[in-house]
Amino acid sequence: MVVDQLSDAEIDRLFHALADATRRDIVAKVMAGEYSVSGLAALYAMSFAAVQKHVAVLERASLVTKQKRGREQIVRVHYEGLQRARRLLDEYEAIWRQRADRIADILAEG
């Protein structure tokens, strides 16, 4: 499985980052608007430190970045990271489509 410029460890982090509903929701919210860490934390029934850890996981997966503004850290979508994640998911999807299409052809012959 050839993947564009991403090591296994990076792919691990990407999928791991998305393997949690809270983190997926954070990514969705951050795509739709601008949030500070504490702004995000206010939206979830967990401690500030827990949300901070989730944001850290997303940072390590290059899905978000943080930018200091006064005492706040603004969480933003990481454009390049998102593009790379997109291409990775695209490749998986293409590989899976190819295989699924072959299975469909074989089944059609039957």
Partner DNA sequence: ATATCCTACAACCAAATGGTTGTAGATCAA
Partner DNA sequence: TTGATCTACAACCATTTGGTTGTAGGATAT
- CA 23 to CA 58: how far, in whole Å? 7
Nearer to DNA, 41 or 85 (CB): 41
Element housing 69 (H / E): strand 64-69
Query: Does 31 help bind its own copies (rule: CB under 8 A)?
Result: yes
Nearer to its own copies, 72 or 76 (CB): 76
11 binds, among its own copies, DNA, none (CB under 5 to 8 A by kind): its own copies
Among 44, 57, 95, 109, binds its own copies (CB under 8 A): 95
- Chain positions 52 to 81 lying near DNA, rule: CB under 7 A, are 52-57, 66, 70-73
Nearer to its own copies, 50 or 95 (CB): 95
Which are the contacts of 87, defined by CB distance < 8 A and separation ≥ 6?
Answer: 4
CB 66 within 8 A of CB 39: no
